[in-house]
Amino acid sequence: MESNEKIRETVRRGYTEIAKNKSGCCCGSLSPQQLAEEIGYSKDELDILPDNANMGLSCGNPTALAGLKPGEFVLDLGSGGGFDVFIAAQKVGKDGFVIGTDMTAEMIVKARNSIKKFTEKTGLSNVEFRLGEIEHLPIEDKAIDVVISNCVINLSPDKPQVWREIALVLQPGGRVCVSDMALLELLAEKVKESAAALVGCISGAVLVSETEAMMKSAGLVNIKLTPKSYNMDILDGCNDQLYKAVSETLPKGKKLSDYVVSVDITALKRK
């Protein structure tokens, strides 16, 4: 438990700095807008976002993966500045609702400060941001139609508990749609010990097969994990400290993309 709390505090400190704009995002030579378009967001989706909601912290587009429908209730795990929350809110419309939860108070403040601008742009008032850990969700059981998350679950020191929480808050027949990082091969121990790599969504990643086993254990069904062509090598030159720390641990001739992949994850809660 003590080790888990140390990991959470490391992640919280790192993302506090990102929220305060004191450190860079993991977006390579691309801007956050360009990265989002590269990994599947449309210009129309991005145009409705309040300023500063997109910090380039994504590794996929779970809102598209979820096929969100008007009237649905959605929960975003690790919502950061509200990027996917605001996009999902437009998709579910005035009869739907989207809750973002994040353990970093500065991210919650940043997201809440953007609500007014989102409402002015869209006419919608259907979002809320709650402070809380994804291992202990501040949501009632069976209250959510769709759980989404974008490059966050890999950061958790207790991933089995996260998947159990997801199963608890979903309504029977509800679905989970996640974009996350996963391993093709195990990384060197030095990478796992790196705080910079942890905040960069790398050292916390586990093998694809491990994620599937955790989801099954939580009682989820119809599980699909789809590795994508998202190129991890765009990290080169973005966060120099992170990429240098990781690349120095790799065998000669190997790249980060030989070990780490972005993966789309979908599943259902049994009815």
Q: Residue 6: its pLDDT value, please?
A: 74
- Give per-residue pLDDT as tens, 22-38: 444 444 556 777 777 67
CA distance linking residue 26 with residue 103, whole number of Å: 20
Q: Print pLDDT tens along the chain (271 aa).
A: 557 777 677 777 777 777 777 444 444 556 777 777 677 788 888 888 888 788 777 778 999 999 999 999 999 999 999 999 999 999 999 999 999 999 999 999 999 999 999 999 999 999 999 999 999 999 999 999 999 999 899 889 899 999 999 999 999 999 999 999 888 877 777 666 665 665 666 667 888 899 999 999 999 999 999 987 555 655 554 554 556 666 777 778 877 777 788 889 999 999 8
CA distance linking residue 223 with residue 116, whole number of Å: 37
Which residues does 86 contact at the CB level (< 8 Å), separation at least 6?
48, 49, 50, 53, 114, 118, 127
Domains of the chain (ranges, CATH numbers): 2-269 (3.40.50.150)
CA distance linking residue 33 with residue 30, whole number of Å: 8
CA distance linking residue 84 with residue 105, whole number of Å: 18
Which residues does 179 contact at the CB level (< 8 Å), separation at least 6?
58, 59, 60, 61, 62, 65, 149, 150, 151, 262, 263, 264, 265
Q: Residue 57: its pLDDT value, please?
A: 72
Whole-structure pTM value = 0.86
